[in-house]
């Protein structure tokens, strides 16, 4: 009977993942109607070929049904959907570059990344483990660091600005480099880690305090991710309470995308007004889902006829490597396309396409997969709901920012250290459901 139940759960998960891929593709069709200025295209005459392409790539998603619950699973699944979105965009693209090579490279990069990220998860022996009292003191310290960071940041700037207007003010922020690093570590790693601990212990007041602090980073940084973070953490907590780990990961994407799709359809039928439909669709279906895929499109186009970086965009390597670009890579791409503000992108676009080109991009993807495997090993033994919640923001960063940047300035390295020293049996989290 357990074997039969496991088989059924796997079949359900596979079906749900395929539904997600289909819904994402339909979402991109609607995105193309509202954001053509971003070079997003769709032609109904080419749909048959696109369906065959996506059905073929959907077979790769079978890997998720047989992988263990891990951090690599979360990053791998989100990255897989991002690359699926790119393959759809690539099929209809009117930008000039070798589309076939880029598509094959993207698919190969997905597989090269997923194999170590999903299937290497053996635990590393903990040399040092926090005691219960030490963990309590650490969580208190994280709250104090969060408060201090907000206060210092607010002393420089604190503006409540609408999402549509943030780019008009972001260039005027002028926050010190050191403060930017502290904000990145606090908002992406420290406070989400603390929220996962407090929420797992049902410490509602301190969990709420963490969410409030995270919300205060928005008027300081004018970042959409900062505004999105506290709501996203709550969503992930709710998902982890009621769904198995793997289903929670899938549903965390399927529900937001489906809601945005439903809203935009109701708007087009004049059932719902603009104010409650298009802003949500723009934030979730366009910014959260389409933009990371679109970044791969931009990078493929730009670096098909411009010099590769050979990793010179990494600040520590700039003195050692002759770099053809003096500005940040995000600004280089923005200047080339003139739309969307700074165009940071995931490891597949930066450490892959921009650094070594489409042909060798799967090699760097495999190395990045090994980094995720290390994260799996350092977090092995922690309960899956805790990993899901505490990594919720880092995962979003990995879709939009180079891996090296996430490690060095967004707190990924700090989160790995916290996972490693966290006691495996003192968090008071609900016991996770069996693996699917």
The pLDDT confidence band at residue 433, using thresholds 50, 70 and 90, is: very low
pLDDT-above-90 percentage for the chain: 74
pLDDT in tens, 220-257: 887 777 888 999 999 999 999 999 999 999 999 999 99
CA dist 282 to 39, 55, 276, Å? 16, 27, 11
Q: Does pLDDT of 171 surpass 70?
A: no
pLDDT tops 50 at residue 114: yes
pLDDT at position 259 is 96
pLDDT-derived band at 1, boundaries 50, 70, 90: very low
> To the nearest whole number, what is the mean pLDDT of the chain?
90
Query: pLDDT grade, residue 285 (50/70/90)?
Result: very high
- The per-residue pLDDT for 426 is 57
Q: From residue 378, how far is each of 80, 184, 237, 290 by CA, in Å?
A: 23, 21, 22, 31
Overall residue count recorded for the chain in this entry: 436
pLDDT (tens digit, 9 = 90+) per residue, 40-95? Answer: 999 999 999 999 999 999 999 999 999 999 999 999 999 999 999 999 999 999 99
pLDDT reported for residue 68: 93
Q: How far apart are CA 389 and CA 194, in angstroms?
A: 10
Q: For 306-344, write each residue's pLDDT tens digit.
A: 999 999 888 777 666 778 888 888 889 988 888 877 788
Record the tokens describing residue 231, joined without a space. 């709501």
pLDDT digits (tens, 9 = 90+) for 18-51: 999 999 999 999 999 999 899 999 999 999 999 9
* For range 398-402, the mean pLDDT: 94
Indicate if the pLDDT at residue 427 is higher than 60: no
- The residue whose two tokens read 């305090």 is 209
pTM of this structure? 0.92
Predicted confidence (pLDDT) at residue 374 exceeds the cutoff of 80: yes
Q: Residue 319's pLDDT is what?
A: 67
Q: Residue 128 and residue 251: Cα distance in Å, rounded?
A: 36
273 — pLDDT class (breaks 50, 70, 90) = very high
């Amino acid at each position: 009977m357990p074997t039969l139940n496991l088989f059924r759960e796997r079949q359900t998960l596979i079906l749900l993942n395929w539904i997600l891929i289909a819904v994402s593709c339909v979402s991109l069709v609607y995105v193309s109607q509202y954001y053509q200025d971003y070079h997003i295209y769709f032609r109904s005459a080419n749909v048959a070929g696109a369906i065959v392409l996506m059905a073929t790539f959907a077979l790769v998603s079978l890997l998720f049904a047989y992988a263990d619950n891990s951090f690599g699973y979360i990053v791998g699944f989100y990255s897989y959907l991002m690359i699926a979105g790119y393959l759809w965009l690539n099929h209809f693209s009117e930008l000039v570059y070798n589309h076939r090579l880029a598509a094959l490279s993207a698919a190969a990069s997905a597989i090269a990344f997923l194999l170590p990220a999903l299937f290497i998860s053996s635990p590393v022996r903990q040399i040092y483990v926090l005691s219960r009292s030490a963990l309590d003191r650490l969580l208190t310290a994280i709250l104090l660091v969060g408060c201090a960071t907000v206060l210092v940041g607010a002393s420089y700037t604190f503006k409540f600005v609408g999402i549509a207007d943030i780019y008009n003010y972001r260039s005027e922020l002028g926050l010190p480099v050191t403060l930017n690093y502290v904000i990145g570590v606090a908002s992406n790693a420290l406070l989400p880690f603390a929220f996962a601990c407090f929420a797992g212990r049902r410490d509602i007041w301190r969990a709420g305090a963490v969410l409030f602090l995270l919300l205060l980073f928005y008027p300081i940084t004018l970042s959409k991710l900062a505004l999105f973070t506290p709501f996203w953490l709550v969503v992930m907590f709710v998902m982890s309470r009621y769904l198995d780990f793997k289903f929670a990961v899938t549903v965390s994407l399927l529900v937001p995308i489906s809601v945005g799709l439903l809203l935009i359809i109701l708007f087009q039928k004049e059932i719902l007004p603009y104010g409650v439909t298009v802003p949500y669709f723009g934030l979730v279906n366009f910014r959260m889902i389409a933009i990371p895929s679109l970044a791969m499109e931009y990078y493929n186009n730009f670096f098909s006829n411009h010099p590769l970086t050979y990793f010179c965009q990494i600040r520590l390597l700039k003195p050692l490597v002759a770099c053809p670009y003096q500005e940040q890579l995000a600004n280089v791409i923005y200047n080339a396309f003139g739309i969307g503000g700074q165009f940071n992108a995931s490891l597949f676009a930066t450490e892959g396409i921009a650094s070594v080109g489409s042909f060798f991009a799967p090699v760097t993807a495999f190395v990045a997969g090994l980094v995720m495997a290390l994260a799996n090993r350092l977090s092995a033994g922690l309960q899956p709901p805790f990993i899901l919640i505490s990594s919720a923001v880092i995962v979003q960063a990995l879709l939009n920012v180079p891996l090296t940047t996430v490690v060095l300035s967004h707190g990924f390295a700090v989160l790995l250290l916290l996972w490693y020293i966290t006691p495996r049996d003192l968090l008071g989290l609900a016991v996770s459901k069996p693996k699917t």
